[in-house]
Copies of this chain bind each other. A is one copy, B any other.
Amino acid sequence: MAVASTGRYRGRANILLATFEEGTTAAGVFTLSKCPSAPVLWSKAQLLKNGGIARALVVNAGNSNAFTGYRGDEEAQKTAAAAAEVMGCSQQEVMLASTGVIGEILDTAPICNLLPSLYANRSTKITEEDAISICTTDTYAKAASLSAILDGHEVILSGFAKGSGMIAPNMATMLGFIFTNAAISGAVVTAILKDSVDRSFNCITVDSDTSTSDTIFVFATGKNANPDMITDVADPRLDDFKNKLSAICLNLAHQVVRDGEGATKFVTIQVNGAENASAAKVIAMSIANSPLMKTAIAGEDPNWGRLIMAVGKAGEQANRDKIAIWIGKQHVAQNGLVRAEYEESLAAEHMKGQNVNFTIDVGIALGSSTVWTCDLTHGYIDINADYRS
């Protein structure tokens, strides 16, 4: 595996090429938007056709090639063809991801022209410059690395991601790329990735807005790792790898929330006692996406009345007379009533910190879910209410 980045976008690189050894398996999880970008449609289709392999990944930041109709599809195909020529592989083995403005035609000729020099200059070391090359409004690079034991061999997982608003001022998207030398079949890596994403990237929200370009890839080269490729997702030898992949996804997802547009707080919302896990997640996301809850957090106000509002509007079962609330370690309410012992000054103290935690029990059954979000501040309005420039 090797990587290189280049370009001159706001004074830094914005085009990335990653190349993979023959035999590399690949898995992708993509936006559920009904208007996905051309690179999303391209990559999804290739993984379906080729059964989960890849030789190259090309990423550009600044223009997401979304809502560009047949012209967008043509430009995506041109990029894949150019990368395939440089690599000496099939264009079906080239994955694409883009992030940036929606609706503007992307002329990929400049990207295609840069691919030979990127290929020549690629390195097995991922630099901060590479991680920054996929960013838009992000204020810092987001990367994580862990090792896992797989069938007695140490394997490495390294990844980087971008994301700040689901769509930034003018741009778009959360992207994440994870590279490993583990030897795991495409089908198995796909199953593991989906499970990890469900409990990480799918449990965060900055502003409830879903990009047309969201993409998380895993590339598994199989080099200098377990000699016996794993082809069964239930294989117990995978346990540590699964845990470490989940940990990397969660780490990157948390970094995205911490860098949320205008964010000043990292907020953890745990819902217990719901009808089931999925109901718990609906309630937790209702709280996490509530503008009134997010502004109360920005104001460091332990306004738990708004928590109740958000529980109530979620549409899932809640027992009014059994609801319990904690802010940090302060037990605010139980049996549907504020506790006599509750001291608001202690809850207010907790909310002054950078990490804010809410726990709500809705008193129905045993379903639980945890999601992460940030506050809604003047900074978000500043970033997003400016005319595109």
Residues of chain A having any CB pair with chain B under 8 Å: 31-36, 66-71, 101-105, 165-167, 170, 172, 207-212, 289-292, 295-296, 298-301, 303-306, 308-318, 320-321, 323, 333, 335-338, 348, 376-378, 380-381, 384-388
- Of the candidates B70, B102, B312, which one forms a contact with A305 in the assembled complex, judged by CB atoms under 8 Å apart? B102
- List 25 contacting pairs A-B, 8 Å CB cutoff, sorted by A: A33-B312, A33-B313, A34-B315, A34-B318, A35-B318, A36-B312, A36-B320, A67-B323, A68-B337, A69-B321, A71-B337, A101-B305, A167-B305, A170-B303, A207-B292, A208-B290, A209-B291, A209-B292, A291-B291, A291-B376, A295-B384, A295-B385, A298-B385, A299-B384, A377-B381
User: In the complex, which residues of chain B have a beta carbon less than 8 angstroms from the beta carbon of A70?
Assistant: 321
Shortest C-beta distance, A336 to chain B (Å), equals: 4
Which one of A167, A292, A386 has the highest number of Cβ atoms from chain B below 10 Å of its Cβ?
A292
User: In the complex, which residues of chain B have a beta carbon less than 8 angstroms from the beta carbon of A299?
Assistant: 384-387
Structural contact, B380 and A35, CB atoms closer than 8 A: no
Instruction: Give the residue name and chain of the B residue nearest to A299 (CB).
Output: B385
Alpha-carbon gap, A104 to B304, bound state (A)? 11
Top 6 nearest A-B pairs by Cβ distance?
A102-B305, A33-B312, A35-B312, A299-B385, A210-B313, A295-B384
- Of the candidates B166, B303, B308, B385, which one forms a contact with A388 in the assembled complex, judged by CB atoms under 8 Å apart? B303
Alpha-carbon gap, A384 to B32, bound state (A)? 32
Which one of A69, A71, A300, A312 has the highest number of Cβ atoms from chain B below 10 Å of its Cβ?
A312
Shortest C-beta distance, A220 to chain B (Å), equals: 30
- Of the candidates B301, B309, B378, which one forms a contact with A102 in the assembled complex, judged by CB atoms under 8 Å apart? B309
Contact A103:B36 (CB < 8 A) given known A292-B167, A309-B212? no
User: In the complex, which residues of chain B have a beta carbon less than 8 angstroms from the beta carbon of A308?
Assistant: 35, 66-67, 102-103, 212
Alpha-carbon gap, A146 to B250, bound state (A)? 58
Contact A310:B381 (CB < 8 A) given known A292-B165, A305-B103, A338-B103? no
